[in-house]
Every structure is written in structure tokens, then in C-alpha cells.
């Protein structure tokens, strides 16, 4: 901390007034220099006291990594430019992950792709080192006037993977935009407006609906864990707070749809079903000749700044989200945060030469409770709806037997606790899961004089699980006679995970923070039961480590 010009002038005047009479005969220049030296000494003393206070607040262990006297502070956490306060952020990370099944994934785990037993990848493990979660961030704050305040924020990492990205020799991965938004706060009416790319309003907040108070599980895995309801996407948001305790907010956010594939033909065996039906088939087998089937995505047109190697879903409108949050004055020394939200979505496909639509959406809520101040926090979240899978790890919708979109009913659950045994250590444990409902469809059809039971929808027991759990034996072959179809075509029923870990801060002071983390997780993936092959399941055991340096904290 340094004294301003005015503060220096006051100190010099005070010292000078105390010595006016006897000092008039002395050399004025020598006296001024002596007074300036005393001011410098006071500045150094105050700066040291500030550094000690900051280290004490951060819980620094001053003897760890530090030999001799503590280093002098190098300056403030922020700097100023044209009336703006600019604060850098981010961290440098080296992380690792070891999986019991090979997924071909970096530090983020696609939990829905945990292999079943028929896949060779399900019988070999995987290890990765990664520095790609290293993060760069910058926050800019300023005052438009005494009652209106503006904030801008950008945050990036290196988890992008362009066509030239590789892990073979150069380990080249591109910078990726995580967040890029601006926000205006009005003190008079408690209004807040933001625009840009940020965490979805549906993501749990820790304070009201503040745009920068999102609460993520403390996992090393960049995909967090199943059951965590989240997205980062562009949009616009407006919110209102009532005395900083009760908040309401509404947002319109960029949308996308993810789709479950349509299983292939199940059986052509007369008598397989019994009763009036002589065979079973999926509706895709009855589509008109030359018809390629419903379209749910398409490649982008050239020149639109989308990657031509990817397909994009048909979007007619944004996702609309509303939320209410209450920061309850539970006890003077404890925190209780409660929130609830609702979401509305639209699904579109192109089927039988026409556009077909379906509405989806749902709602849920979260609770964060400080059970023991500065020692134990617990949190829980639950969400239920139709067509909300992309906010987790599963799909939004399937194709109905008519070719129209069929939003899948899904439930999210997340519970967890974080223990703070010391100011330097956090120990956490979480359980999360995503559970999708079966929505199988059936109807009878006469095709070429053959009465068939046509099946479709999501989770039908007629979809084959014959080869899901046997390595190679059925992987490349059709289901054995008298049945036909693919060896493992059933849909996913649920994905669940139990995880726990520890973070420890080895150093916190004027040079930033040094932290290390260790996480273990066990994940279950289950398919729906089938008449042909029973149930299918996959499992993965993972160990993750992280070593991070936060130079700006």
C-alpha cells in the first residue's frame, strides 16, 4: 500500500509543524529528505502489515516453500485504466486421468460413452496427462455513473480441438471461449442486465441469480459428473433483486438438440411375437422407397463460420428459462440458498417431406446449506422434464414411429457435501445420476400381406441387446437366426456416479496460490432391458490428479 500525494503532503506538514521553531535555522533540504525517508518507512511498514493480513486471511502456511523472510508484496490484485478496474485471473494446470476403460477422451469424460462389454475398448485402460484445462481470464469493472455499474468478463481454456489438433508429437490444441459477457447493475431498482456467453441461468447459483456466482462441483473432471444440470451458451438475461435477498430472473439462451438414433430392424421371424402378429420391425423399415428417413441435423452451408465437418440441429427459437432464488437469513453466521427454475424448449425435424415440431421443458431446484460455519457445506439439486438431456450427458429426444420428435422424459439428481477441516484443505463427496424413462411405441401394420408389429420410440424391449456384453463374438455380426438386426442397439436407461476428492492449498500469498487435487470416481451406465439379451451395463473407475498455480489469486 502506498500513500497518495495528498497523504504525503499532510504527513510532511505535520512533521514540519512539530519542528517549526527549532528547525528554521537548519538546512531545509536535508529536513525534507529526512521527512520523506520517514514517510517511506511508514509505507513499507503498512505494506508488510497488509501482506501479513492477506496471508492470514487466505490461510497461508508461511514456512511451506518459503525460506527466510516473507517476500515483499508486488502490488494490488487489480490495476486501473481510464476509470476501469481490471483484474486478471486463471490458473496453470498439469492434470492426469486414469480410466479402467478406454474412452479416447481428455480431462473431460463423456460418461454416456462408457463402453459395454462387446467393445474391445471396454477391456483396456487409459491414461492421459493434460495441461489443456489451464485457464486465462480477465474481468473489467467500471461505473457508468454513481448508480449504474458495468462489468465485462472473458474466460478461456485450451480444450478446443480443431481438425489439426493432435496428441502425437506437437500436442497442439486451440484456445476455446468459455465465457464472454458484459453486465450492468442498477442500484436504484436492483435491476441487472447481461448479454454474451455465460453459464446458463439453469445452472445453480450460490448468491441470488448473479451472473458470476455459478456453483460447479469441485471435481477435476471437466465434465463434472452426471446429475449436474448445466450449459454454457450465448444469451441475454435480465434479473431483479429485492434487498439482495430475493431474486427473479429470465433469460433467452442459444439452443441445440441432441438425438438418440433409431435402432435397426429387430426380427422377421414369424411367430416371434405370437398372437395376430407374424413379425416385428421398426418403423424405419416401412418408410417409402427412396426416403432417407427423418432429418434432425444438417451440415452447415459454406461461409457461415460453422465447421463443415460437424452437423447442427434445426433450431427455431432459443431456450427460455425463468428462475427465482432466495438467500435466506437462516442464522446470522450461516448461509442458506434456495432456488427454483423452469425451462421451455422446442424440437423440430424434417420428416416425410414436412416439418414436425414438439415442445419440451421442465423444472427443478437447488439448495445450498452451510451446516457448520466454515466447516461443512451441503448441496442438492433435482430436475425433471422432457427433452432436457443436453443439459447433462444424455440425449434430448428420439424419433417417434410417425417420424415426429419424441422428447425423452428425464430426471436429474445431485447431492454432495464439502468439508473444510482447515483453511487450506477441502474434502468433498458427491453422488449424481441421470435417469431416462422408457417411451416405447407400438402399432400394427399390414405390409405386403404380412401383419407386422411396428415398434419405435425410446427404450423398447424389442431393441436388441444380444451382443452388448460379449467381446467381439457378436460385435460385427447380425443377431443370430431366427432374429435379425444389430448386435447391441438398445437405448441408455441411466448414468450414475459416486465421486470424492481433496484439494489442498500449499501456498497462498502475494505470489498467488499453489493447489493440488486428487479425485476418485466410479460410474455406472445401464441400458434398458430387452427381450433379446436382457440388460446391458458398463462401468468405469477413474483416478484424477491436478497441480495448479493461480498467479492472480
Q: Are strands 174-186 and 191-199 parallel, antiparallel or unpaired?
A: antiparallel
Q: Which residue has the cell 498439469?
A: 94
The 3-state secondary structure of 87-148 reads EEEEEEEEEEEEECCCCCCCCCCCHHHCCCCCCHHHHCCEEEEECCCCEEEEEEEEEEECCE
Grid coordinates belonging to 244: 439482495
Output the pLDDT for position 329. 83
Q: Are residues 380 and 477 in the same domain?
A: yes
Q: Are residues 323 and 434 in the same domain?
A: yes
Output the pLDDT for position 43. 62
pLDDT bracket for residue 223 (50, 70, 90): very high
Q: Are residues 360 and 301 in the same domain?
A: yes
Output the pLDDT for position 331. 76
pLDDT bracket for residue 324 (50, 70, 90): very high
Q: Are residues 43 and 107 in the same domain?
A: no
Choice between 198 and 67, residue whose per-residue pLDDT is larger: 198
Q: How far is CA 497 from CA 127, 145, 454, 491, in A?
A: 20, 49, 35, 19
Residue positions counted in the chain: 553
Q: Are residues 145 and 9 in the same domain?
A: no
Confirm if 92 and 549 have CB atoms less than 8 A apart.
Answer: yes
Whether cis (ω within 30° of 0) applies to the bond prior to 291 is no
Q: Are residues 52 and 86 in the same domain?
A: no
Q: Mean pLDDT lowest for which of 8-22, 74-88, 208-222?
A: 8-22
- Residue 14: helix, strand or coil by DSSP? helix
**What tens digit of pLDDT does each residue of 449-467 get?**
777 788 889 998 888 887 7
Output the pLDDT for position 60. 40
Q: Are residues 137 and 229 in the same domain?
A: yes
Q: How far is CA 2 from CA 6, 50, 122, in A?
A: 11, 11, 61
What is the mean predicted confidence (pLDDT) over 70-77?
54
pLDDT bracket for residue 276 (50, 70, 90): low
Of 507, 522, 536, the residue nearest 55 (C-alpha) = 507
Is 267 inside a domain boundary? no
> How far is it, in rounded angstroms, from Cα 321 to Cα 55?
41
Question: Which of 1-5, 48-52, 203-207, 259-263 is modeled with the greatest confidence?
Answer: 203-207
Q: Are residues 97 and 49 in the same domain?
A: no
Q: Mean pLDDT lowest for which of 237-246, 325-334, 377-386, 519-528?
A: 325-334
> How far is it, in rounded angstroms, from Cα 429 to Cα 419?
9
> How far is it, in rounded angstroms, from Cα 165 to Cα 450?
52
Q: Which residue has the cell 438398445?
A: 490
Question: Which of 273-277, 310-314, 345-349 is modeled with the greatest confidence?
Answer: 345-349
Q: How many CA atoms lie within 13 A of 73 on its CB side?
A: 22
Is 277 inside a domain boundary? no
Please give the full DSSP string across 405-452, using - where no structure is assigned: EEEPEEEEEEEEEEEEEETTEEEEEEEEEEEE--EEEEEEEEETTEEE
What is the mean predicted confidence (pLDDT) over 121-139?
94
Q: Mean pLDDT lowest for which of 283-287, 395-399, 485-489?
A: 485-489
Output the pLDDT for position 288. 79
pLDDT bracket for residue 109 (50, 70, 90): very high
231 class by beta-carbon count within 10 Å (0-12 exposed, 13-18 middle, 19+ buried)? buried
Is 321 inside a domain boundary? yes
Number of domains in the chain: 2
Mean pLDDT, the chain, integer: 84
Q: Are residues 176 and 314 in the same domain?
A: yes
> How far is it, in rounded angstroms, from Cα 513 to Cα 506?
7
Instruction: Indicate if the pLDDT at residue 1 is higher than 70.
Output: no
Output the pLDDT for position 103. 93
Instruction: Indicate if the pLDDT at residue 199 is higher than 60.
Output: yes
Choice between 294 and 239, residue whose per-residue pLDDT is larger: 239
Confirm if 553 and 541 have CB atoms less than 8 A apart.
Answer: no
Confirm if 55 and 61 have CB atoms less than 8 A apart.
Answer: no
Q: Domain range spanning residue 41?
A: 5-58
Instruction: Indicate if the pLDDT at residue 5 is higher than 50.
Output: no
Grid coordinates belonging to 209: 441469480
Instruction: Indicate if the pLDDT at residue 24 is higher than 80.
Output: no
Is 269 inside a domain boundary? no
Instruction: Indicate if the pLDDT at residue 335 is higher than 80.
Output: yes
Output the pLDDT for position 22. 43
Confirm if 161 and 309 have CB atoms less than 8 A apart.
Answer: no
Instruction: Indicate if the pLDDT at residue 234 is higher than 70.
Output: yes
Output the pLDDT for position 541. 97
Q: Are residues 237 and 297 in the same domain?
A: yes
Question: Which of 33-47, 218-232, 438-452, 453-467 is modeled with the greatest confidence?
Answer: 218-232
Q: Are residues 132 and 15 in the same domain?
A: no
Residues forming beta bridges with residue 280, ordered by sequence position: 267, 453
> How far is it, in rounded angstroms, from Cα 103 to Cα 18?
77
Is 273 inside a domain boundary? no
- Which letter does DSSP use for residue 267 in this model? B
Output the pLDDT for position 49. 60
Is 286 inside a domain boundary? no
Look at the alpha carbons of 223, 224, 227, 233 in this order and tell me if their dihedral is positive or negative: negative
Q: Are strands 512-527 and 537-550 parallel, antiparallel or unpaired?
A: antiparallel
> How far is it, in rounded angstroms, from Cα 167 to Cα 101?
19
Of 95, 112, 116, 113, the residue nearest 104 (C-alpha) = 113
Output the pLDDT for position 469. 78
Is 367 inside a domain boundary? yes
Output the pLDDT for position 300. 85
Provide the greatest CA pair distance for the chain. Answer: 125
Output the pLDDT for position 212. 95
Confirm if 330 and 366 have CB atoms less than 8 A apart.
Answer: no
Amino acid at each position: 500500500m502506498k500513500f497518495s500525494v495528498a497523504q504525503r503532503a499532510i504527513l510532511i506538514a505535520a512533521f514540519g509543524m512539530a519542528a517549526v521553531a527549532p528547525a528554521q535555522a537548519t538546512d531545509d533540504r536535508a529536513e525534507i529528505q529526512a521527512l520523506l525517508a520517514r514517510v517511506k518507512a511508514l509505507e513499507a511498514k503498512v505494506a508488510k502489515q497488509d501482506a501479513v493480513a492477506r496471508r492470514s486471511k487466505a490461510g497461508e502456511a508461511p514456512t511451506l516453500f518459503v525460506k527466510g523472510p516473507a517476500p515483499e508484496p508486488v502490488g494490488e490484485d487489480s490495476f486501473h485504466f481510464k476509470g476501469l478496474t481490471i483484474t486478471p485471473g486463471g490458473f496453470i494446470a498439469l492434470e492426469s486421468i486414469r480410466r479402467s476403460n478406454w474412452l479416447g477422451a481428455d480431462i473431460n469424460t463423456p460418461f454416456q460413452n462408457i463402453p459395454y462389454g462387446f467393445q474391445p475398448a471396454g477391456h483396456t485402460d487409459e491414461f492421459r496427462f493434460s495441461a489443456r484445462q489451464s485457464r486465462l481470464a480477465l474481468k473489467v469493472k467500471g461505473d457508468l455513473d454513481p448508480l449504474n455499474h458495468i462489468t465485462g468478463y472473458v474466460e478461456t481454456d485450451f480444450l478446443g480441438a480443431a481438425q489439426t489438433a493432435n496428441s502425437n508429437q506437437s500436442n497442439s490444441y486451440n484456445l476455446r471461449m468459455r465465457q464472454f459477457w458484459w453486465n450492468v447493475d442498477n442500484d436504484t431498482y436492483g435491476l441487472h442486465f447481461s448479454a454474451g456467453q455465460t453459464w446458463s441461468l439453469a445452472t445453480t447459483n450460490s448468491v441470488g441469480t448473479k451472473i458470476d456466482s455459478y456453483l460447479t462441483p469441485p471435481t477435476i473432471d471437466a465434465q463434472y459428473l452426471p446429475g449436474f444440470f448445466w450449459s454454457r451458451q450465448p444469451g441475454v438475461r435480465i434479473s431483479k433483486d429485492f434487498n439482495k435477498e430475493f431474486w427473479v430472473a429470465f433469460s433467452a439462451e442459444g439452443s441445440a438438440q441432441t438425438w438418440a438414433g433409431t435402432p435397426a430392424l429387430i426380427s422377421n421371424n414369424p411367430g416371434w411375437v405370437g398372437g395376430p402378429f407374424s413379425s416385428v420391425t421398426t418403423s424405419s423399415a416401412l418408410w417409402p422407397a427412396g426416403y432417407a428417413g427423418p432429418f434432425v441435423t444438417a451440415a452447415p452451408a459454406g461461409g457461415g463460420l460453422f465447421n463443415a465437418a460437424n452437423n447442427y440441429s434445426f433450431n427455431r427459437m432459443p431456450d427460455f428459462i425463468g428462475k427465482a432464488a432466495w438467500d435466506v437469513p437462516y442464522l446470522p453466521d450461516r448461509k442458506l440458498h434456495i432456488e427454483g427454475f423452469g425451462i421451455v424448449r422446442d424440437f423440430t425435424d424434417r420428416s416425410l417431406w414436412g416439418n414436425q415440431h414438439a415442445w419440451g421443458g421442465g423444472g427443478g431446484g437447488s439448495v445450498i446449506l452451510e451446516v457448520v460455519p466454515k466447516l461443512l457445506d451441503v448441496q442438492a439439486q433435482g430436475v425433471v422434464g422432457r427433452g432436457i438431456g443436453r443439459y447433462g450427458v444424455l440425449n434430448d429426444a428420439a424419433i417417434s414411429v410417425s417420424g415426429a420428435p419424441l422428447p425423452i422424459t428425464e430426471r436429474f439428481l445431485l447431492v454432495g457435501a464439502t468439508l473444510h477441516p482447515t483453511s487450506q484443505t477441502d474434502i468433498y463427496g458427491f453422488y449424481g445420476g441421470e435417469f431416462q424413462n422408457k417411451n416405447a411405441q407400438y402399432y400394427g401394420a399390414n405390409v405386403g400381406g404380412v401383419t407386422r408389429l411396428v415398434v419405435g420410440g425410446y427404450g423398447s424391449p424389442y431393441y436388441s441387446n444380444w451382443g452388448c456384453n460379449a467381446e467381439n463374438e457378436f460385435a460385427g455380426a447380425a443377431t443370430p437366426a431366427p432374429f435379425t438386426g444389430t448386435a447391441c442397439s438398445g437405448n441408455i436407461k441411466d448414468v450414475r456416479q459416486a465421486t470424492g476428492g481433496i484439494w489442498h492449498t500449499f501456498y497462498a500469498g502475494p505470489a498467488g496460490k499453489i493447489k493440488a487435487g486428487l479425485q476418485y470416481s466410479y460410474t455406472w451406465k445401464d441400458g434398458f432391458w430387452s427381450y433379446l439379451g436382457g440388460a446391458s451395463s458398463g462401468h468405469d473407475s477413474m483416478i484424477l490428479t491436478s497441480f495448479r498455480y493461480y498467479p492472480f489469486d
